[in-house]
Amino acid sequence: MAPFLICGVILLKVVFGDACTSGQLTESGECCSVCPAGFGVAVECGKEDTKCIPCPQGTFSSSEDLSHCVPCSRCPHGLPMSAPCSANEDTQCECDVGFFYFRAYRLCAPCSKCKRGEGAEEQCGPKGDTQCRSCGPGTFSEEHTHTKPCQRCTQCTDSEVEIRACIPNSDTLCMDKKLHIISRETTSLSGVENVTPGGEGFAQVTPKHTPQGENGNNNILAYVSVLAAVVLGLLVYVAYKCWRSCKQKKALSKARAAELGASPEGEKLQSDSGVFLDSQSLQDNQPSKGTKRDSKQDTRLYVNLPPQRQEEVERLLQEGAGRGWQHLGQALGYETEQLDLFGHGEAPAHTLLSNWAQKEGSTLGVLCSALARIERPDVVSALNCPAQGVSVV
């Protein structure tokens, strides 16, 4: 008889709209209570209702459910903590702008960007990746971004006419009603006259006695002036980029020369293949072709390298021919899923090396050994690792 009574109570509650939030009932047919955030289950719901207790120090519960308190997590080595663990929220680890803390892999991963037609419902930050939502009626998004939500569509004013309605990936297109469309002038045997179709949207133009070709010449001169300005601007931009590139190369050369205690001219030798080798490394122990030198590993930390040297290494791994940053990541022990996350960003080589530099034992010796295994002597030379120099065949 008791099971029939319980089923009857459940049926009555469903019919009258009193649905059970937890989805579980006691033996007497009462809805089991859920523990609020910051509390965990002390006694499971069964004969009696759920018993909840506050989460003790070092544990937390972030949602209202029937679960227990879980231990707080710790930030990886080298990653700062933005907020400590509380009773209702886990430890918050701080990543750079454009990255979020991926708890499953304990690393900073690049934020996902919402596509056109989608907006950021929840921005990427300490609590997780970007949460995108398709733009509904009356809203749109024309950008690839991880910060902006869907925008409200523009409403054409009374003095405008709607050319195209708003769609999820493009705003409304409006045009001024007073914008006139004038027909092209034609020449008849009796003189010059304007042929103007009737109807709304066309201006009524009286005949003009203008020398033929004068307006056309003025338009050509205007176009030529604009084109000349554009070409001049491009030339100035190219000259600036060349100057800046030369300046960066000189600064990099001086920095490496200061570190080696040698002049920039004697610092590196350039072969016909385009691979640079340190002159000091060549003078110490000249290896035979296709062999490696075995000696004590370089114990310098990668994070202490000059920024110019790090940028050069990242550029070679990102743009250089041969095996790139993905192969280096595998050699350093990263999983394929982690490398896929790094690939979502605009500079995956920088993301990989920045994340690896936060780990213990991230020395140049370890990095150069990994580069040697993937056959990238050009990057080894850029790092200037005397213990891992590789000769060029």
CATH code of residue 284? 1.10.533.10
Task: Single out the residue in 174, 208, 228 at which a domain terminates.
Answer: 174
Does the pLDDT at position 30 exceed 80? yes
Asked if residue 119 and residue 20 are part of one domain, the reply reads no
Whether 370 and 311 share a structural domain: yes
Same domain? For 138 and 39 the reply is: no
Tokens 């056309």 belong to 216
Residue 185 pLDDT: 45
Whether residue 317 lies inside any domain: the answer is yes
Is 0.95 surpassed by the pTM of this model? Answer: no
* Closest to 111 measured CA to CA, from 341, 284, 326: 341
Question: Do 279 and 365 belong together in one domain?
Answer: yes
In a domain, 247, yes or no: no
Assess if residue 224 is contained within a domain: no
* pLDDT(194) > 80: no
Compare 74 and 263 and report the one with higher pLDDT. 74
Residue 10 has pLDDT above 70, yes or no: no
Residue 180 is assigned to a structural domain of this protein: no
Give the lowest-confidence range in 19-33, 101-115, 174-188, 369-383.
174-188
> Do 321 and 371 share a domain, yes or no?
yes
Does the residue 61 lie in any domain? Answer: yes
For residue 65, give the CATH number of its domain. 2.10.50.10
Query: Is the pLDDT confidence value at 119 over 60?
Result: yes
Residue 12: predicted pLDDT = 47
Number of Cα atoms under 13 Å in the Cβ half of residue 216: 5
Q: Which helix (H) or strand (E) holds 307?
A: helix 307-319
Give me the pLDDT at residue 286, please. 41
- Domain limit, last residue, from 71, 95, 129: 71
Residue 198 has pLDDT above 60, yes or no: no
pLDDT at 7: 53
Query: Is 383 in contact with 317 (CB distance < 8 Å)?
Result: no
The residue written with tokens 């509904």 in the block is 136
pLDDT at residue 392 tops 60: no
Taking 80 as the threshold, does the pLDDT of residue 251 lie above it? Answer: no
- The answer to whether residue 50 sits within a structural domain is yes
| 69-81 exposure pattern, b = at least 16 Cβ within 10 A, e = fewer | beebeebbeebee
Q: For residues 42 and 125, state if they share a domain.
A: no
Report the Cα 366 to chain-centroid distance in Å: 28
Q: Which of 151, 174, 197 is the last residue of a domain?
A: 174
**143 class by beta-carbon count within 10 Å (0-12 exposed, 13-18 middle, 19+ buried):** middle
Least confident of 91-95, 319-323, 368-372, 386-390: 386-390
The answer to whether the beta carbons of residues 166 and 172 sit under 8 Å apart is yes
Q: 239 or 266, which is more confident?
A: 239
pLDDT at 181: 53
Is the separation of the CB atoms in 21 and 31 below 8 Å? Answer: yes
Highest averaged pLDDT of the listed ranges 279-288, 336-345, 362-371: 362-371
> How many residues does the structure list for the chain?
393
Round to whole Å and give the CA distance between 382 and 371: 11
Q: Which residues 6+ apart lie within 8 Å of 14 measured at CB?
A: none
Is 202 inside any structural domain? no
Distance of CA 246 to CAs 80, 243, 249, 250, 318, Å? 37, 5, 5, 6, 21
Least confident of 91-105, 167-181, 241-255, 269-283: 269-283
* Confidence class for position 125, pLDDT limits 50, 70, 90: confident
What percent of the chain lies above the pLDDT cut of 70? 70
Ordered DSSP codes for 92-147: EE---TTEEEETTTTEEEEPPPBPTTEEEEE--BTTBS-EEEE--TTEE--S-BSS
CA 168 vs CA 124, 137, 142, 147, 200: distances in Å: 22, 8, 8, 17, 32
Which of 219-223, 241-245, 248-252 is predicted with the least confidence, judged by mean pLDDT? 248-252
Counting residues of the chain whose pLDDT is more than 90, the rounded percentage is 17
Number of structural domains, the chain?
A: 3
Q: Does 253 reside within a domain?
A: no
pLDDT beyond 70 at 353: yes
Supply the range of the domain harboring residue 340. Answer: 266-383
pLDDT confidence bin for 116, thresholds 50/70/90:
very high
Per residue in 55-65, is it b (16+ CB within 10 Å) or e — as a string? beeebbbbebe
Cα 119 to Cα 290: distance, rounded to the nearest angstrom: 54
Digit-coded pLDDT (tens) for 65-91: 767 899 998 898 888 988 899 998 889
Neighbours of 97 (CB within 10 A): 7
- Environment class of residue 321 by beta-carbon count within 10 Å: exposed (0-12), middle (13-18) or buried (19+)? exposed
DSSP 8-state assignment for residue 291: -
The chain-wide mean pLDDT, for the chain, equals: 76
pLDDT per residue as tens digits for the range 289-330: 333 444 456 788 888 888 888 998 888 888 766 688 888 989
Lowest average pLDDT, out of 32-46, 85-99, 225-239, 290-304, goes to 290-304
17 and 123 inside one domain: no
